[in-house]
Structure 1
């Protein structure tokens, strides 16, 4: 039996997210740099899947471009003892809804 991954829409996330709760963006660095939710931390999906136990005992939201990678990452984090919720619609939905975006340039 496949366990259901907790998920919230971009609209619900925008209304309930507190910056004290970690937001993990699992896209690749280039994607993250091109635009992300303010306050998000970039940890690519491959890194999350390689060490989901590093999120054990933590509460976090997980976001990607549209929701597929974040659901996979949230499932791995939850299986390792964390409490992760995937943001369906992802960064694309966040931007489409008109929410603020940060851009960064890696040196």
Structure 2
């Protein structure tokens, strides 16, 4: 499983990157990386094949859940990158945040 920190993620971020936020819906709507889609960890674990063959960046609050999700996704044939530091690191660095559902 690959991992990168928030600074690396921000520096290499492109519009076409798939970003999956594995926090709960409530956490997600309160603030998330712009463009991220919400897929709570429980759903990722039960259906990791949904992203088979895809490169995606997985983010949570600080990095624990994203690492767990990335392991499941990699085992199912995806190419995940876990973002260490997560949404908390993104927000604390002063980067823009979206709110609400997506």
Shared fold per TM-score greater than 0.5: yes
Matches within 5 A, 1:56-67: 56-67=52-63
Runs of 4+, deviation exceeding 3 Å: none
Q: Which has the larger radius of gyration?
A: 1
Cα drift, residue 68 of structure 1: 0.1
Secondary structure at 2:34's aligned position in 1?
coil
- Residue ranges of structure 1 left out of the alignment (5+ in a row): none
When the two chains are superposed, the root-mean-square deviation of aligned CA atoms in Å is: 1.1
Give, in whole Å, the separation in 2 of the partners of 1:25 and 1:105: 12
Aligned length, in residue pairs: 102
Normalised by the size of structure 2, how large is the TM-score? 0.97
Normalised by the size of structure 1, how large is the TM-score? 0.92
Q: 2:21 is matched with which residue?
A: 25
- Residue ranges of structure 2 left out of the alignment (5+ in a row): none
